[in-house]
Structure 1
């Protein structure tokens, strides 16, 4: 299938470009370069965006059922379109998680744990950068440094919500909603994985107990057979009185 071949070829290169994308974006937000450096960073960001948009268009062209593919890849479309809003550019890096999700040679639960950990770290990082970009220079903003942004992102994704730092811009509030929804989803995955592990451990203990019981029954059965054989031999060797 042409689409599968294209995805296999481009998956890891696009993942590397996504990480480069967030690296340049983070440098823009944290270092705030000026002049030629800012222009160079902006050029790299735009060039990468063109690559991602081209990948989306090519994938749609190669898809055998385009409407079904379109409905299943709405997030990819959003990732292509939303970077027009500067603070949302960082969402592009979320596609890097696809490579982790498809990593082979690992048990399902191990992949889930790795995927969840990577998702939490990445969401907190990009949430911090995006909220700082959206809020830093807004009138009345309280999230004005990366440390505050990092604290806000961690508190928000865990759905604790202390309220000590709150976004004042529309973009910042949209980011907060997205991060809270992502946090609820991740908590659900963590809970399900933990429950699955507990069930498997209980099942394993019951299986071991059953195996021990069966071994004991077999051992007792063998002893009874040996005892019966001895009794038969004794009966055969004992003379009968006529």
Structure 2
């Protein structure tokens, strides 16, 4: 393993390596954490890009697949020829629609009415992680839907770690903190700075309606209204 990869992945990202039939897949989750360390980000991402380029010409490197997961847009300056983010296949995880949430409910062997699905989506929208976490906890018998809806935006709820990470990220960026305060205090979409809107959307906290923004879901509105 390259020393740069071995040194920084355990510190700044959740890395997993899968080996099957002579092929290697490296899964890097939460690489957003590397963005916060520009002193190593350039070299680290250049290394990943180098591996990609070698796969074009060298048979052994064609057996490598990189999966890079991040919840923020890449806004650190990277040389276009040394960035792994402008090659490969980009996949943006969108919100789930009603039918997809309904199918997930069935896959978790929950017999829910349309009203129960409506109540869950009224709180978390179609956010894939939030929906999945709710269904998993309920299916395991750890909490009821009624209780989850009561405690979801609190430190008692199953989303506490997720919400706290977002809060910590916002507190590190005063301009985003100011913007989210504006958004959550008004019950209709508003206009904010383009840069702030872009970054908040990339964090998954807001959604656009035309050029206006609003909280992605009621969970975020309630949690940040209390915390901020």
TM over 0.5, shorter chain: no
Which one has a larger percent strand, Structure 1 or Structure 2? 2
Which one has a larger percent helix, Structure 1 or Structure 2? 1
